[in-house]
Chains A and B, each alone.
Chain A
Amino acid sequence: MMITFERLRKEYDGVAAVDDLSLEIPRGEVFGLLGPNGAGKTTTILMLVGLIQPTSGRCLVDGIDVALEPIAVKRRMGFMPDDVGFYENMTAEQNLAYFAAIYDLPRAVRAERIADVLERLDLGGLDKKVGGYSRGMVQRLGIAKILLNDPDVLVLDEPTANLDPLCVAEYREIVRSLRAEGRTVVVSSHILSEVAKVCTSVAILARGRLVASGSVTDLPFRLAQTAGGMAIRVETRSPIPELDHPSILAAEYDANRCRARFQVTDDVRDWLVDQLRNAGVTIRELAVEEPSLEEVFMRYYHAT
């Protein structure tokens, strides 16, 4: 595992911002930390990058304890905070030169890296001081900054906050390329569509606790089962008879009963097929109405 949270807890004035969080993130994943404001995402991330100390538990990055060896971890990590800020009296290049000087890299290598990342993020040749940058440019510079040390792990806290659609598209492209390079990326966001578009796995936090985690494709279906059910839509050539099963919560039919929508708590597709076949009804279509991640999240969040 690239990142491991072991029973992580952080208290502020006796109130737990993160409570007993245990989670594992495999190498090469683009992992989304999902939750509303105040769910504990940023606190979790700040503990991961060593900016705040856990009250108990620990974070490991490739087996290295962040609290015990923060410098070793930070060498392998790039972090872009939600309110990323640079020194406004310096140019992008000067800012990057300052941060790059902290790494033990030869001067020539540093200069080459800075030129590379600025070029990659389309910030090359800008002499303007960062104070005059737009929010999107600062965000791009933030991504350029985290690539300086060629990190294995990238941590992005609310990376698309305040970005215009064009910048968001650029950001998605960058994250995909980072994944293609085999890097592990942790993204925190309260924008579900964003997480769904760039992440391979996701964990949902609510009130400091982990409520669910899994792959982006599996999780909605799994959560739907526990958060209000899912729907199965059926279309037939002849009218559908009355069907009764403990898992069917409700059924809606159209006027000629050739179309139905069953609200179910379990996957009863096989049972439905058998029942309709036995009744001599030809099935034209049978499909699960998969709820969106957002729909599932909202239902799940309110249910917990």
Chain B
Amino acid sequence: MRLSRLRVVATKEFHDHLTSRRFLLIAVLLLLVVSIGLVGGMINYRTAVDRYAGTIGTVGESSADPGSATGVSLLDVFNSVGEQILLIGAILGIAMGFDLVTREKEGGSLKLLLSHPIYRDEVINGKGLGGIGAIAGLIFVTFAVVLGVLLAFGVVPDGYEAFALVVLGIATLLLVVSYFSVALFISTISRTGGTALVAALVVFIVLSSLLPVFVDPNVVGVFMGPPPAPPSLSPPGLAGTQSVGAVEPALVPGSGNGSDVTGIEESQRYERELQAYEERRLSLEGVISLFSPTLNFRQVMRELNTPVLTSVASAGTGSGLPDESPAEPEAPMASVPNVVESILPNLIALLVIPALFFGLAYARFMRMDIR
């Protein structure tokens, strides 16, 4: 493979994407949705902060970090546009990739191109790189707009928020690239652009709508079988009703006779079995989730927001005022290593999915008979 020829193809593809109406339309849509969502989110954010500042003024306290103290975070604002980014990003990836090969096959330019002194891997890699470059450019512009809106509202992200913003940008890039590579692969196996589009949309629906169904606890339960049954106990030993998923001890020690001891042992065994069942269910959910770019992206967003959500929960949501005493230790805002650890499998999956589909597209393209 020669870099000069790879660059020629990649540059042309990059230029084609940037000048295509399809790309421009979706890009404008993405920027509009993100900007509008962000402005709306920022207005809510400012309102919450102002309300908190007014309350503090009444109480006579101040905070160096009103955002965190109110339990309102910039990440909530990002979260509000996350679903739109998810949907438009997936559509963008599919729109960019589904006819990259079929269009050239149908138009006759692929035959012409490959009759030149160029290797096929230079063509398919160039197509991939050009597409990824265009996606990266758009994501960069989008997040620059996000930053611009934040600064326009006079909000400077703190360290964790800046970190979250960068991770979100990377996850968005990987999400779009994932769907782009899926669509590119479909383009290599389809005869026409129309077929490729339908196939890509079916895959998109499977990955974004059907796969999440399998992550639902009830559906996962169907595959795993019923949870362990609670022990049947005599009424005097029963402290409360048992419910599936409850891991608190359900029994209180009785008078110390033999049947109570047996009951406690059975209860403990049940707890262990239930806990093991839950762990299996969660790991199965996690494994299924890894196959979907959509679920991985959602998981990354959730994990990035989790510390903040904890803070909101601890701060109370009714009035925006903390309902705990100031002496009560606040929930930890964010531990970057912990967040990285929790999102790492999803980020790796978001790297592996495009690599896998691009590998399939590559293999198919290399063996394709150009007739």
A interface with B by C-beta (< 8 Å): 42-43, 46, 49-53, 70-72, 74-75, 77, 79-81, 83-89, 98-99, 101-104, 142, 145
Contact = CB atoms under 8 A, between A and B. Distances in A.
23 contacts: A49-B115, A51-B369, A51-B370, A52-B369, A71-B119, A74-B115, A74-B116, A74-B117, A81-B111, A81-B115, A83-B108, A83-B111, A84-B112, A86-B107, A86-B112, A87-B16, A89-B16, A89-B19, A89-B20, A99-B116, A101-B8, A104-B4, A145-B112
Nearest to A80: B112
A68 to B, nearest CB: 14
A46 B113 CA distance: 13
Contacts of B107: 85-88
B109 interface: yes
B117 A85 contact: no
- Taking residues whose C-beta sits less than 8 angstroms from the other chain, chain B's interface range is 20 to 34
Interface of B: 4-5, 8, 12, 16, 19-20, 107-109, 111-119, 369-371
B134 to A, nearest CB: 15
Contacts of B114: 50-51
Contact of B113 (A50, A89, A99): A99
Nearest to A76: B117
B109 A86 contact: yes
Contacts of A51: 111, 114-115, 369-371
Nearest to A82: B108
Nearest to A43: B371
Given A46-B370, A89-B19, A81 B112 contact: yes
A102 B119 CA distance: 10
A84 B118 CA distance: 18
Contact of A81 (B4, B108, B117, B369): B108
B5 A102 contact: yes
Nearest to B107: A85
A52 B370 contact: yes
Nearest to B111: A81
A79 B115 contact: yes
A75 B116 CA distance: 7
Contact of B108 (A72, A85, A101, A102): A85
B240 to A, nearest CB: 69
Contacts of A53: 369
Tell me which of B108, B109, B369, B371 has the highest count of chain A C-beta atoms within 10 A of its own C-beta.
Answer: B109
Nearest to B108: A85
Contact of B112 (A85, A88, A104): A85
Tell me which of A53, A85, A103 has the highest count of chain B C-beta atoms within 10 A of its own C-beta.
Answer: A85
B214 to A, nearest CB: 37
Contacts of B119: 71
Nearest to B12: A98
B133 to A, nearest CB: 17
Contacts of A42: 371
B109 A85 contact: yes
A71 B117 contact: yes
A141 B241 CA distance: 82
A71 B95 CA distance: 33
A49 B4 CA distance: 22
B292 to A, nearest CB: 34
B272 to A, nearest CB: 59
A230 B16 CA distance: 60
A86 B115 CA distance: 13
Contact of B371 (A46, A71, A74, A87): A46
A51 B114 CA distance: 7
A101 B6 CA distance: 11
Contacts of A74: 115-118
Nearest to B109: A85
B117 A99 contact: no
B109 A52 contact: no
B96 to A, nearest CB: 15
